Chain A
Amino acid sequence: MGQPHVVTLRATRAGDLDALFRFRQDPEASRMAAFTSGDQHDRDAFDSRWARLIADPQVDVRTIRADGVIVGDLVRWSDDDGSFVGYWIDTAHWGEGIATRALRLFVDAVHDRPLLAHVAVDNTGSIRVLEKLGFVRAGSEVSFANARGTDIEERIYRLD
């Protein structure tokens, strides 16, 4: 543990997918993320979805590294409702401040605004990250969370 000396973002490559897939097999991480894709335990489905994301010029997929080691990913995508950002951090590195640092690098460099983020209401760690970076609460809705198997409240945060 301990906080890494340097956190970096780079465009995600096919070679990163082993690690990114592995991070998604952790049940606690899935529970926190709540609104998971449903195919995250199926490696083939995961690989083909990520190959599409990486190839899509409208989607920005970054690999997060801490002191050179892959520890997560950060994705920005857009639909009719706007631009969204989401991230996933290896549970082995939770509590090290990595999400805050990665998201700060991203919002400083990418000027898509408003930038929206959806977060489960009980995901206090990520809510703290978003608030630290100046995201403000812009609403909430109840939706079905794959990883919980039930409807839960999700908050929408917004950075202008």
Chain B
Amino acid sequence: MASTLDTDDTVADAPGLPLTERGRQKADRRAAILAAGATLFAERGYAGVTIEDLGAAVGVSGPAVYRHFPGKSAVLAAILEGASSTLLDGAERVLGVAPDAASALRSLIRFHVDFALGEADVIIVQDRELEQLDRDARHEVRLLQRRYVEHWVDTLSRLRPDRAETELRFRAHAAFGLLNSTPHSARIPGRRPADGTVRGILEEMTWASLMS
């Protein structure tokens, strides 16, 4: 019996092969642990969350989490690597279909606004906990982030050929600060403008900050 289970796990981890039911459950649970991890790390800080907390959030024991991740730091690494690859893949996807530089920049902005509104927890975790990663994982995340920034800088330099690349890179980082403000604005007391309004405000402000 044990060997059958092991086989299923192996199949589940091999890309491109059809998943068994057990493999699918495992994939769902892994994703649920990552989502819960982002929420808990954002709320309590990485140091304030145990493997047992991560398990409890998805309804399994602490030790059962080890079937998906070798430890808490691997959960953090998967969250941050996942976020950076999502951003990079998304940027490459929207740039691939944009007919010109201006619409490319609009699409990049719209895409990042989506991310910032949907993944405020991940933004908090990335801001505060990147240093907790071991050197290799941190290096991997930084590499993905740099490639993402370069897509913005390339797009900007097509629109602003008169400006130095160093200035455009500075503007891109300043714009990320603005876009990644969603965890702060979510805490504004009282009534918040509707989602569509928030989205419009962020898109307009970002465009202005880059093109002023």
Contacts and interface: CB of A to CB of B under 8 A. Distances in A.
B43 to A, nearest CB: 14
A126 B21 CA distance: 18
Nearest to B114: A15
Nearest to B34: A8
A10 B196 CA distance: 19
Interface string B31-70: 1100110000000000000000000011110000000000
A101 B24 contact: yes
Interface stretch (A31-39, A78-86, A103-111, A142-150): A103-111
A75 B57 CA distance: 18
B159 interface: no
A128 to B, nearest CB: 14
Interface string A88-125: 00000000010001001101111100000000000000
Contacts of B27: 5-6
Nearest to B32: A105
Interface string B123-138: 0000000000000000
B19 interface: yes
A4 B21 CA distance: 11
B6 interface: no
A9 B32 contact: yes
Contact of B28 (A10, A14, A101, A110): A101
Contacts of B194: 14
A8 B59 contact: no
Interface in A1-46: 3-10, 13-15
A109 B24 contact: no
Interface residues of B, number: 21
Nearest to B195: A14
Interface of A is mostly: mixed
B35 A15 contact: no
Contacts of A6: 24, 27-28, 30-31
A10 B55 CA distance: 17
A106 B28 CA distance: 11
A5 B19 contact: yes
B25 interface: yes
Contact of A108 (B19, B24, B58): B58
A4 B25 CA distance: 11
B58 A105 contact: yes
Contacts of A9: 32
B32 A109 contact: yes
Contacts of B29: 105, 108
Nearest to A2: B18
The 6 closest A-B pairs by CB, nearest first: A108-B59, A14-B195, A109-B59, A6-B27, A6-B31, A8-B31
6 contacts: A6-B31, A8-B35, A13-B117, A13-B118, A14-B194, A101-B25
Interface of B: 19, 21, 24-25, 27-32, 35-36, 57-60, 117-118, 194-196
Interface of A: 3-10, 13-15, 97, 101, 104-105, 107-111
